[in-house]
Amino acid sequence: MLSLAVVGVSLSAPLTAMVTAPMLALAFWRNAAGAAALLPVLLTRERSTLTGLRGRDLRSSVVAGLFLAAHFAAWLPSLSMTTVAASVALVTTTPIWTALAARVSGVRLPAAVWWGLLIAFAGVVLIVGVDVTVSLEALAGDALALLGAICAGGYVLAGARARRRLATSAYAVVCYSVCAVVIAVAALLVDAPLGGFEARDWWLIAGITVSAQLFGHTLLNLVLSSVGPTVVSLAILLEVPGALLFALVLLGQVPPLLALPGVALVVVGVALVVRASRPQTLVEAGT
């Protein structure tokens, strides 16, 4: 199941790069479908968990939804601006930002975490340095992917707090619903349509929802209790080479050769951070 989940999340970015519909529409339907799929579970199997809930118990889930909306709004457009390999590598730096947030809050980080931070930072610098020579659009795509990773860090931290009080289905329904509503409002403000697309785009949106949300995040959450968060978080890093291979097959996209060492450094650095720290719900940071 873990292998199938990695394949699912690895397909997400290349399929997204093939979508011609507005990225806000993709983000809206992906989250709306995720909330709709989990609502029956919440209202049947986990209905008892709603007893005694108060409004303030949902606050962290709402905050997580806001961060998730910001994550999608930043990261999805980056896939059409820089290479899939660079975008996915940069957006998987989420554990770096959660570790830094922990340090700011007073948590002492092991030496291995700092080494991981330095290695990942060197990889980011190398990727960005290569994209500077490619185009300003590629550089802007890198910046958006990093912003998406930072927002995903806020989403992870808020989600971890929310799950102390809520069942997974309740948290996810609230979070995904808030994210979908915020994105719908943003689409309305910028006059981005949420429908009326060609059949090809609808099939791609459905494929992304199934691969990333159902086969990806759902299976990751299922195996979390049996293999542990560290193994799951490290497995998610396989999304980087997986996305690179799928982009090569589906898009014929080959990243600049000089960027590949940077991608490798980011993966190694983030892996060190994950192994040396205590990831909580990093499975939700997958794309």
Region 167-182: what's the mean pLDDT?
88
What gap in Å lies between CA 65 and CA 82, rounded to an integer? 26
pLDDT score of 281? 44
- CB within 8 Å of 119: residues ≥ 6 apart: 265, 268, 269, 272
Judged against a pLDDT cut of 60, whether residue 145 lies above it is answered with: yes
183 confidence band (pLDDT: 50, 70, 90): very high
**pLDDT over 90, % of the chain:** 28
pLDDT score of 76? 92
- The lowest-confidence range among 68-82, 93-107, 132-146 is 93-107
pLDDT score of 202? 95
180 confidence band (pLDDT: 50, 70, 90): very high
Judged against a pLDDT cut of 70, whether residue 284 lies above it is answered with: no
- CB within 8 Å of 28: residues ≥ 6 apart: 180, 183, 184, 187, 194
229 confidence band (pLDDT: 50, 70, 90): low
First to last CA, the chain: 17
Question: Which structural domain, as residue segments, surrounds residue 65?
Answer: 2-285
What gap in Å lies between CA 1 and CA 37, rounded to an integer? 19
What gap in Å lies between CA 244 and CA 84, rounded to an integer? 7
Give the chain's domain count: 1
The two tokens of residue 72 are 């999608």
For 229, other C-beta atoms within 10 Å of its C-beta total 17
pTM, 2 dp: 0.86
Mean pLDDT of the chain: 84
- CB within 8 Å of 45: residues ≥ 6 apart: 169
Rg of the chain taking only CA atoms, in angstroms: 18
222 confidence band (pLDDT: 50, 70, 90): low
Judged against a pLDDT cut of 80, whether residue 141 lies above it is answered with: yes
Torsion (CA) 72, 9, 118, 279 in degrees, nearest 10:
90
**Tokens 């060190």 label which residue?**
272
Q: Are 91 and 287 in contact (CB under 8 A)?
A: yes
- CB within 8 Å of 7: residues ≥ 6 apart: 211, 215, 242
- 138 burial (CB, 10 Å; 0-12 / 13-18 / 19+) is buried
What gap in Å lies between CA 256 and CA 131, rounded to an integer? 9
Judged against a pLDDT cut of 60, whether residue 282 lies above it is answered with: no
What gap in Å lies between CA 59 and CA 72, rounded to an integer? 20
The two tokens of residue 228 are 């542990």
pLDDT score of 146? 92
pLDDT score of 287? 66
- CB within 8 Å of 226: residues ≥ 6 apart: none
Region 136-162: what's the mean pLDDT?
89
**Tokens 């309740």 label which residue?**
170
pLDDT score of 171? 83
Judged against a pLDDT cut of 80, whether residue 168 lies above it is answered with: no
What gap in Å lies between CA 127 and CA 106, rounded to an integer? 31
- Per DSSP, 252 falls in state -
